[in-house]
A and B are shown apart, each in its own frame.
Chain A
Amino acid sequence: MRVEVRDIQKHFGLVKANDGISLTFEGGKIYGLLGENGAGKSTLMKILSGYQPPDSGEILLDGRTAEFSSPATALSDGVGMLYQDPLDMPPFRVIDNYLLGHDSKVRLSYKSAAAELKEIMARYDFAVDVNAYIDTLTMGERQQLELVRLLAGGARLLILDEPTTGISAEQQERLFESMRRLAYKEGKTLILVSHKLDEIQELCDYAFILRRGKLVGETEVPCPNETLVEMMFGQVPAQSERPPFELGQPQLEIKNITVGDYRLSASNINLSVQAGEVFGFAGLEGSGQRRVIQACAGLIHPSDGRIKLAGEDVTGWSYHKMQQAGMAYLAAGRLEGGLVAGLSLTEHLALTQPEQSFLVDWDGVRHEMDQRIKHYQIVGRPDSTADELSGGNQQRLLFALLNSPLKLLLLEHPTRGLDVRSTNYTWDLLYQRREEGTAIIFMSADLDEIIERSDRIAVFSAGKMSRIVAARDTSVDELGHLIGGQS
C-alpha cells in the first residue's frame, strides 16, 4: 500500500508537535522514522493510525483521502500500529484477547479463532500458547500477539513504535525476521519508529528524520551513522564524560533480605553501596530487581533481613519516613508514578518543598521554578502542566524536583525512551549528585548503559542476585550469561 501524509499540522497548546510534515511510504519497503525525543515522531504516527486527528493536513491511502475517527477505523482501512505498551488485556487468555478485538458476533467461536491464530503465528514463526494468560507472557510475546491481531485485522501498513524496548535479543531477531518477511515477501509497508541508530541501519531501506516537528532529512540506509546523528541533532552531541570519583562510606547496606510475594520473591540479597557509588541492576524485566529497589525505598517491606541507611537501621520504615531520611525514588512510569497530570510545574515544586507553611507562597515558588527550568533546561513554563511536557522534559522535571542533599537515589529505567542528548544530560545530573555523597542504584534494560555508567553491577535472574561484578572488568557477554542464570 502506498501511503502519503500531506502537510500534517498538530499543536498541543503552544507546542507545534507536527509542523507541516509531508511523507510518502511505498509498499514492500521498511522505513525508519528517526528523531530525538519530542521531535514529533509519535504524534505523527498516532495521527496516521487514527489515535488522534490532525489540526490540518490529509492522509492518502493508495491515492484516496482517508479520515480515521479511531484506531479501529484506521485498521479497517489497513493501517495498524504496534504501540510501545501493548494494548492487550493482561488478565485475559491469549485467545480471549484475540476474540475481544476481533469477533463481533454474539457467539464466540473459540475453535476457528484458535485455528486462525495458530495459522498466522506459524507463518511468522511466532510461538505463543493460545491458552496462556497474557500476564504470564513476556513483553516480546505480547508484542507478537499484537502483531498477529493487526495482521488478522487486515493491516497493510504496519507502524512499530520503539518495538525493541524491553524484549530479548532473540525476540528482537525474530521480530526483525518477520518484519522483513512482511515487507519483502508480502509487499506490506512497514514503518519503524526508533531513536536507536543500529536498528534503523540494520533493518530499514530508507529513513526519514524529524526534528522539532519538521522533516529535516531523508536518506537511503545503511549510511554512515554520523549522517543520521547530524540530521537528528543538528550537530553531533558530545558523549558525557564520567568524572573519576573517590567513593565514601557505605550509605546503603542490605543484609540478607527476602522481598516479594508468591509470584516472585527475591531472596538472600546482600549488598553494600558506598557514598558516591553508582550501582547498576541488570536483568530481564520481572527478575526481582524492582522489588529490591522498592524495598530500599520503603514501598514494600522485606519479610526477612535488615536494611541500613547511613548506618541507621531503616528496616520497615515507611516510604515517607525514608524520604525524610534522604532517600529519593524515581519510578519507571513518569506520569503514573512521580508526576501528576494536570498539575503545573509550579504546583509540583510547591508540593516537594521540605518546609511547608500554611499558605503557599505562589510568587516565590513560581520564581524558584523559573530558576530550575533554566538550570535543568526544561522546555516548558512554570504554568505548563506536567503532561504537556515531552518524556525527556518530564524526566528533567523529576530531577528538578529532587531535594538536596540525598543519601540514596533509586531509579527505575532513568533513561528509558530518552534520546542520546537527554540520556547524557540525565547522567551528568546523576554524576553531580555523587559530589554530595549520594549513593545511586539504577535498573536498566540497556546492558551497554549499565556497563558504561555503573561502578559495580549486580544481575538478577528469576529472583536470584548474581555475584557483584565491577563494571570495568565485565562485558555485555558476561552479563548476558548472568541474566540467563549462568554464573
Chain B
Amino acid sequence: MSRFQSMTGQRLLQWIWPIVPVLGALLFTTGLLLIFDTSPLVAFEAMFQGALGDSAKRLSMLAFWIPLLLASLGLLVTFRAGLWNIGIEGQIILGAVGASWIALKVTAPSPILIALELLVAMAAGALWAGLAGILKTRGRVHEIFGGLALNNIAIIFTNYLISGPWQPPEGGTFRGTEPFQDAALLPLFGESRFAPLSLILAIIAFAIIVITLRGTFWGLKLKALGKNSYSAYLLGISSEREIILAMMFCGALAGLGGAVRVLSWFDSLRQGIAGGIGFMALLVVMLANYNMFLVPFIALFFAAVLSGSITLQLRTQLHSSLGGILTGVMVLFVLLFGDAGKLGIGRKKSDHHGAPEVEGRAIDPFSRDIPEGE
C-alpha cells in the first residue's frame, strides 16, 4: 500500500472522528444494560419518554437546563483563559445562598426583590470565584485545588445556615430553610418549575458571552493568556488581573444559575442545592469541545438524559444514575479519543496549548464519574 492511500484513509477517519465517542458511549451503556438483563430498547425508550414524553416533562427538562447552561457559559470564559474552574459548584451554591439571604430577609415588591436577589447571587458567586482566582495568583494555589476546597466550604456553610441561623421555626430537619415568600420566587410557567424569566436571562448571558469572547479586547487577552501566558505577559497583558476577572465573570453566571435553582426549581435553600450541576457543566463544555455555539445543545442533551433517567428508574429496576453514567462515559470517550492527534493520526508538531490545560489533562480530575443529580 502506498503512503498516499493510507493518508486518505486517515483523512476520512479524522472526519468521522467526533461521532466515535458518542457511539462508543452508547455501545458501552448498551453493554451495561445487557449485563443487568434489561432490554436496551426499553431503557432508552423510557429515558426518551421521561425527558420529552409530555409537556410537563419537557418543561421540567428546560427548568433543569437553564442553570446548567448558565454555568456552562461561564466556564467558556475560564476555559478560554486556560483555567480549570472546578470551584464552579461552590460558586453556584454561594449564588443560591446570596439569593436566599435576600429572599428570607428583605421585604419589597416582587420585581425589586427578584432583581436584588439575582444581583446579590451574581455578586456572591463572583466573590467565591474571585477568591479562587486570588488564591491562584497570590497564593500559588492551583485553581483546581483552591476550587475543590472552596466547594467543600460552600457546602459546609450551607449546612450551617440551614441547621443554624436560617433554620425553619418548626425545628431543624437539616434539609432546608422554610419556603420563601411568594414575592421572592420567579414567576413560573403554569404548573411547572420552569421560569420564563430565567430563559430570557440565559439568552442574554449567551449573547454577552458570544460578544465577549469574539469581539472584545478582554476576550482576546484571555485567549492569549490561555494559550501561552508568558508570551501574553510579554505582549503586555496583566495575567493576574485577567485571571481574577475571568474567574469572577464565570462565578457571576454560576451564581445566577444558583439563584435560578433556589427561586424556581426549589422554593427554599436546600442541602445539595447545586446538585452537581457545576461539575456537569464542565463536562458539557468539554463535550462541546469549547465551542460556544454547541454548548446550549449539549447542555440540553445532558438535561434530557438526566431527567429521562428518573423515568427510567420508575419503569425499570435500574437506578437513575444510568443517565449520569451515559453522559460521563461520553465525556470520557471524548477526552480519550476526541483529539484524533492523541492516537497518532495526523501527528502534529508542537503542542503549544496553554499550560493549565495541559496540566489539567495530566491530572484529569474527570476520570471519576460525575456526582449524581439530586
Whether the pair B3, A350 counts as a contact (CB closer than 8 A) is no
Whether the pair B352, A352 counts as a contact (CB closer than 8 A) is no
- Interface of A, helix, strand, loop or mixed by DSSP: loop
Q: Name the interface size band of chain A.
A: 35 or more
Binds A, one of B28-36, B140-148, B224-232, B332-340: B224-232
Query: How long is the Cα–Cα vector from A357 to B215 in the complex, in angstroms?
Result: 11
Chain B: minimal CB distance from A306 (Å): 24
The reply on A4 being an interface residue by CB < 8 A is no
4 extra interface residue pairs, beta carbon distance < 8 Å, beyond A52-B347, A340-B224, A359-B216: A54-B3, A67-B3, A331-B234, A351-B236
Interface set, chain B 218-265, CB cutoff 8 A to A: 218, 220-221, 223-224, 227-228, 230-238
Chain A residues with Cβ below 8 Å from B227 are 340-343
Q: A337-B230, A351-B236 are in contact. Are A343 and B224 (CB under 8 A)?
A: yes
Chain A residues with Cβ below 8 Å from B200 are none
Whether the pair A351, B216 counts as a contact (CB closer than 8 A) is no
Instruction: Select one of B211, B220, B231, B237 contacting A339, CB under 8 A.
Output: B231
Q: A335-B352, A359-B215, A387-B352 are in contact. Are A340 and B3 (CB under 8 A)?
A: no
The reply on B350 being an interface residue by CB < 8 A is yes
Whether the pair A323, B344 counts as a contact (CB closer than 8 A) is no
The reply on A55 being an interface residue by CB < 8 A is yes
Query: How long is the Cα–Cα vector from A329 to B235 in the complex, in angstroms?
Result: 9
Chain B residues with Cβ below 8 Å from A341 are 227-228, 350, 352
From B7, which residue of chain A is reached at the shortest CB distance? Answer: A55
Whether the pair B234, A351 counts as a contact (CB closer than 8 A) is no
Interface set, chain A 344-393, CB cutoff 8 A to B: 347-348, 350-352, 356-360, 362, 387
Query: How long is the Cα–Cα vector from A338 to B350 in the complex, in angstroms?
Result: 16
User: Using an 8 Å CB-CB cutoff, how does the interface string of A238-267 with B read, 1 for contact, 0 for none?
Assistant: 000000000000000000000000000000
Whether the pair B3, A56 counts as a contact (CB closer than 8 A) is yes
From A357, which residue of chain B is reached at the shortest CB distance? Answer: B217
Whether the pair A352, B235 counts as a contact (CB closer than 8 A) is yes
Chain A: minimal CB distance from B220 (Å): 6
Whether the pair B350, A387 counts as a contact (CB closer than 8 A) is yes
The reply on B293 being an interface residue by CB < 8 A is no
Q: A54-B3, A57-B3, A350-B220 are in contact. Are A338 and B235 (CB under 8 A)?
A: yes
User: Using an 8 Å CB-CB cutoff, how does the interface string of A47-86 with B read, 1 for contact, 0 for none?
Assistant: 0000011111110000000010100000000000000000
Chain A: minimal CB distance from B350 (Å): 7
Query: How long is the Cα–Cα vector from A350 to B220 in the complex, in angstroms?
Result: 8
Chain B: minimal CB distance from A87 (Å): 13
Query: How long is the Cα–Cα vector from A25 to B221 in the complex, in angstroms?
Result: 49
Whether the pair B235, A351 counts as a contact (CB closer than 8 A) is yes
From A318, which residue of chain B is reached at the shortest CB distance? Answer: B238
Can you list 19 A-B pairs, Cβ within 8 angstroms, ordered by A? A52-B349, A319-B233, A320-B236, A323-B236, A329-B234, A335-B228, A335-B350, A338-B234, A339-B228, A341-B350, A342-B227, A347-B223, A347-B224, A350-B220, A351-B220, A351-B232, A351-B236, A351-B237, A360-B215
Query: How long is the Cα–Cα vector from A175 to B154 in the complex, in angstroms?
Result: 63
Chain A residues with Cβ below 8 Å from B230 are 336-337
Chain B residues with Cβ below 8 Å from A401 are 235
Whether the pair A356, B232 counts as a contact (CB closer than 8 A) is no
Whether the pair B223, A343 counts as a contact (CB closer than 8 A) is yes
